[in-house]
Amino acid sequence: MLHDIEGIYDNHYEEHAPRADDLVLAFRGESLLMRRIGDDVELPTYEQSKLAPSDLTFLFTIDETAFFLVKGEQLLGGASPHTGIDAGQVDDAHDEAAFSYEPLGMYRWIRPRDTRFAIEVASQLAAWYRNNRFCGRCGKPTQADRAERMLRCPECGNTIYPRINPGVIVGVENGDRLLLTKYAGRGFTNWALIAGFTEIGESLEQTVQREVLEEAGVRVKNIRYFGNQPWPRSSSLLVGYFAELDGAGDVHLDDQELACAEWVHWSEVPHDPDNYSLTRTMMCAFHDRYAE
């Protein structure tokens, strides 16, 4: 999955100056500064960025390489605006020698895996810094703490930590069939599973029961934990469960959330692991259970 990388990820926050070969993430709107070399994506080094250390915020390390976020959304010198290339066209490099601001929709296809993971997590932290420039209690500007990953209001003392939203992915089983869905009103049109965020005051298992009932109109039992993964684009920790249909299997669709929901025989459940999402991993696990 997304977080299964080759390097060792260390998110311990400790202020230090960037080295020449540390990597810089420069976001601008819905794009990121990068360049493509063959099938791989490269990020600019600190030396290439020509920025001062005060322009950067330390994010994390992967192995010996530190990753830094460019403060604000300044356009780095010599870089062109994003090309508008659609997701999935990463291999069609237009100018492999130059850095350019490319659409964030490319994340899913970025290689190598460690770079893809770094970009995803960095985008989550970039959004957190951007969305918390002012204190939610008194409205005064916040300041970054120097000892830990935290923003502090010097006026009222309010402290703000990166937010993580728990949510569930549910594989609902009806014998050898799995309930597959497609989202309503989204660009993502592949098959998916029932999913939703945990509400205040409920357990993860209660979230499973509520989301399945709300979105598909069926009840479940024998809820079993499968696995979990970080999902930075929504600042989430997704927790996967399988559950068995409890009672009638007639689907009553919430058409505000889903475009369709169908019971799909195991032999027709998508079996193309992308090494990226918990949803696809769970589909493959269900398929393999019957294929063996």
pLDDT tens per residue, range 61-103: 999 999 999 998 666 655 555 444 333 333 344 444 688 898 8
Backbone angles phi, psi at 124, to 5 degrees: -65, -45
* Averaged pLDDT, 115-126: 94
More confident residue, 199 or 257: 199
Counting beta carbons within 10 angstroms of the beta carbon of residue 139, is it exposed (0 to 12), middle (13 to 18) or buried (19 or more)?
exposed
> What is the per-residue burial (b if ≥16 Cβ within 10 Å, else e) of 78-104?
ebeebbebeeeebeebeeeeebbbbbb
**pLDDT tens for each residue of 2-46:** 898 999 999 999 888 999 999 999 998 889 999 988 778 899 999
**pLDDT tens for each residue of 221-266:** 999 999 999 999 899 999 999 999 999 999 998 888 888 999 999 9
Q: Tokens for 88?
A: 């999935």
Strands (E), 207-283: 220-231, 236-245, 258-265
* Averaged pLDDT, 131-149: 95
| pLDDT value, residue 82 | 46
What percent of the chain shows pLDDT beyond 70?
Answer: 89
* pLDDT > 90? residue 58: yes
189 pLDDT band (50/70/90 cuts)? confident
* Averaged pLDDT, 134-141: 96
Across the chain, what does the average pLDDT equal? Answer: 89
| pLDDT value, residue 268 | 96
| pLDDT value, residue 250 | 93
Q: Tokens for 235?
A: 């600042």
